Amino acid sequence: MRNFFVLIAGSGVLLSAAAGAADVDVRPLNVTVAPAFPKLIWPDWLTGTDQGLRRNPLPILLTGDGSDNRRLFVATQYGSVHLLANDPKTTELATFLDVRDRVHYDSNENEEGFLGFAFHPQFAENGYFFVFYTARRAAGQVDRRSILSRFHVLPGNRDQADPRSEEVLLEIPQAAWNHNGGTVVFGPDGYLYIAVGDGGHGNDPYMNGQNLQTLHGSVLRIDVDRRDDDLPYAIPPDNPFAGQPKFARGEIWAYGLRNVWRLSFDRQTGTCWGADVGQKDWEEINIIRRGGNYGWNLREGKHAFGPGGVGPREGLIEPIWEYGRELGKSIIGGCAYHGASAPQLEGAYLYADYITGRVWALWYDASSGQVTANRPILDQGPAIITFGEDSAGEVYFTTVEGGIYKFAPQTCRGVP
């Protein structure tokens, strides 16, 4: 795995593109980004080396299991999940789950594949975890489907999942290869939240963003520990549209979203963060709330979108932050930082841009509803795929080349 070098305290060019941001602190941060596992080697069968090929491992997700911080799990977009020791000296990955035989991934259609992975809050007791992926299609089959499934580990062995244990909870038809969403994450309430994209293509041609009869363009919330009569899960009774089937799907928690990548909960405050990838001009960060309508495809960021676009209006929630094409064009949502390695990041929401490799730390004051700082960390770097947390709250990010990186204070003098 190659290291990369970054501009730590940039030239100050990473200014905010957000409206009304004159009082926001945008000074570059002195934070070091370094390989978390500098000696880690991906297995040959995953990189294609054993077949004379060259492909990136595409580490699409990284997480702890919530109970044992000596272990980390990293999933690939191809459909494998790997276990590694949470130690900078670690060199090897063990395979925890391999479902490549049922996952569809095509490098020319690179928003499909294995996209989501979350451990049950009681994983240490019940061995359950949940995945979200694009289903492999049979020969001649054209229908695309996103699958939400539950798996469990082998009896008495938390280091090895049973691929035969799959129980499909939800199937979502997809019209296109893009805008699948895919984040699955448990909230502090114990319910499972699922981010689902608007159905694909461009400009939301199916008008899914404002359609409450479809699961597309939404954040869903379900109870995986109970079952309703006709479902393999239950709809929580306090979901905003529960019990209103003629009006809306009961699974919907929030809607009007284009393609959230990713969704996360602040482990201290419970705030739900959603980074929504833009269509044409604006990338945005939202605080996801019960029943919230985030405006797509009437609005993109804080702006009217397309011929049917509208200005700010009651009932449409504005993002707390946005940035334009001069800074990037594909937001990668992260996590609120509560780790020990870089205390100067405490409480910041970390996020990045896929195209430019830039990384920022954003501070939000919930009492005033205002962003107080949006401070650049990296000015450039390789394409970032995802952020993740270990069980102790340390934050990492991964890159397309297979890198796993973490944050630490900068030791030289400079901007605090």
CB atoms within 10 A of CB 80: 21
- The burial of 413, by beta-carbon neighbours within 10 Å (0-12 exposed, 13-18 middle, 19 or more buried), is given as exposed
Q: Would you say 262 and 277 are in contact if contact means Cβ atoms under 8 Å apart? A: no
Angle ∠(330,383,409) on CA atoms, nearest 5: 105
Q: How far is it, in rounded angstroms, from Cα 23 to Cα 372?
A: 7
Q: Would you say 412 and 40 are in contact if contact means Cβ atoms under 8 Å apart? A: no
What are the sequence ranges of the domains in the chain? Answer: 34-315+384-404
Residue of 228, 225, 238 lying closest to 186 (CA atoms): 225
Q: Extract the tokens encoding 110.
A: 């690179």
Angle ∠(359,258,395) on CA atoms, nearest 5: 30
Q: How far is it, in rounded angstroms, from Cα 394 to Cα 69?
A: 10
CB atoms within 10 A of CB 385: 26
DSSP-derived 3-state class of residue 256: coil
**Global pTM?**
0.94
Q: Extract the tokens encoding 197.
A: 């994209």
Q: What type of residue is 277? A: V
Q: How far is it, in rounded angstroms, from Cα 208 to Cα 266?
A: 28
Q: Extract the tokens encoding 98.
A: 């391999």
Q: How far is it, in rounded angstroms, from Cα 158 to Cα 220?
A: 28
What pLDDT does 241 receive?
Answer: 98
What pLDDT does 409 receive?
Answer: 79
Peptide bond into 180 cis (omega under 30): no
The class that CATH gives domain 34-315+384-404 is mainly beta
What pLDDT does 21 receive?
Answer: 62
What pLDDT does 13 receive?
Answer: 37
What pLDDT does 98 receive?
Answer: 98
φ, ψ of residue 365 in degrees (nearest 5): -95, 105
Q: How far is it, in rounded angstroms, from Cα 149 to Cα 129?
A: 9
Largest CA distance in the chain: 62
Residue found under tokens 């994983």: 123
Q: What type of residue is 45? A: W
Mean pLDDT by 10 residues, the chain (416 residues): 37 40 88 96 93 91 95 97 97 97 91 97 97 88 90 96 98 93 98 97 95 98 96 98 96 98 97 97 98 98 96 97 97 97 97 97 96 96 95 96 91 46
Q: Is the dihedral of CA 292, 394, 21, 378 positive or negative?
A: negative
DSSP-derived 3-state class of residue 260: strand
Angle ∠(222,227,231) on CA atoms, nearest 5: 80
Q: How far is it, in rounded angstroms, from Cα 178 to Cα 201?
A: 7
